[in-house]
Amino acid sequence: MKILVFGGTRFFGKKLVERLISEGHDVTIGTRGKTEDHFGDAVKRVVLNRESRDALFQLAKEEWDVIYDNICFSPKEALYAVDAFKGKVKRYIYTSSLSVYSQKGRALVEDDFNPEHYEIVIGDKEDFDYGEGKRLAEAVFFQKASFPIVAVRFPIVLGLDDYTKRLHFHIEHIKNHQEIGISNGQAEIGFITSDEAAQFLAWVGVESDVTGPINAASNGTYALNGFIKMLEAKTGELALVEEVTDDADDSPFGIEKTYYLDNTKATEAGFVFKELKEWLPALVTDILKEN
């Protein structure tokens, strides 16, 4: 297949490109050109500003089987894609987020946010917070696009290659006997690995015919208390958890209420997710070995 990937040089985007190359696809990556890649002659490269309408119309001079969009954060960027790729793409995979859901306290299903009935407001990514930018981008895609759209809603993505170091934060704070701010230890949270995220994107774009919003998260959740206990067991140290701390010590996972994705739709469509309580302790072990 002829595939275009916006944002394919780091984290799960990079792993997606590696997977697509290994499957023999004709891959073009479109990025700002600021991050080096190791793909060599296995891909074509286009240096672009994703926020540029003209750049997308240049790419739309060709036809594509699948487009992956990992770097769209606003309704204006979504609208440019909708206009540019009309009649030029068979399947468009938009990387969305758990953050589109405003509800808390239970497992979230796709219908909890329906982008087809969400009022569109056009603006740049600076005009909205992250979640609202993603909601509005979904609304534009599903209300305006003439081609099939999938919006993959990911939770927090973890891996050794996670440049945000959110899991590392907890491990380092425990090892250094620093406070960790968690306001509700009973709150449940879910995750996915960067490998699994890439595998899911490849599956949903190339192998599956599913359309619409779809949640993608590993099976299972951790209550934050249980997550901390697991880290204590792995590090051999006791965590100093406080409800109120300095902002710098607040847990990046410190949700106030349960907030995780129900993955039933994807599972019923044929994707087999990993078990969170198997891979997360193993990932912690790997991080400890590196440090």
pLDDT at 36 over 90: no
Helix (H, G, I), strand (E, B) or coil at 26: strand
Cα distance between residue 196 and residue 264, in whole Å? 16
pLDDT of 153 > 90? The answer is: yes
Predicted confidence (pLDDT) at residue 207 exceeds the cutoff of 80: yes
Q: What pLDDT, on the 0 to 100 scale, is given for residue 158? A: 98
Q: Is the pLDDT of residue 22 over 80?
A: yes
Q: What is the mean pLDDT of residues 173-177?
A: 97
Count of C-beta atoms within a 10 Å radius of residue 240: 14
Give the pLDDT score at 33: 83
With respect to CATH, is domain 2-156+192-215 assigned 3.40.50.720? yes
Residue predicted with more confidence, 9 or 145 = 145
Tokens of 20: 């697509």
Q: How confident is the model at residue 32 (pLDDT cuts 50, 70, 90)?
A: confident
Please report, for the chain, the start and end positions of each structural domain, with discontinuous segments joined by +.
2-156+192-215, 160-190+220-290
pLDDT at 8: 80
Residue range 72-109, pLDDT digits in tens:
999 999 999 999 999 999 999 999 999 999 999 999 99
CA distance 191 to 216: 9
**Can you tell me the distance from the alpha carbon of 234 to that of 153, in angstroms, rounded to the nearest whole number?**
30
Question: pLDDT tens across 112-143, in order?
Answer: 999 999 999 999 999 999 999 999 999 999 99
Give the tens place of pLDDT for each residue, 224-274.
999 999 999 999 999 999 999 999 999 999 999 999 999 999 999 999 999
Is residue 291 scored above 80 in pLDDT? no
Determine if residue 11 is left, alpha or beta; phi over 0 gives left, psi from -120 to 50 gives alpha, anything else beta: left
User: At 34, is the pLDDT very low, low, confident or very high (cuts 50, 70, 90)?
Assistant: confident
Distance CA 124, CA 12 (A): 24
Structure-model confidence comparison of residues 67 and 7, the more confident one = 67
3-state secondary structure of 288: helix
DSSP one-letter string for 73-108: -SHHHHHHHHHHTTTTEEEEEEEEEGGG----SSEE
pLDDT at residue 9 above 90? no
Q: Please give the pLDDT value at position 245.
A: 93
What is 160-190+220-290's CATH number, 3.30.70.870, 3.40.50.300, 3.40.50.1970, 3.90.25.10? 3.90.25.10
Alpha-carbon span 49 to 122, nearest angstrom: 18
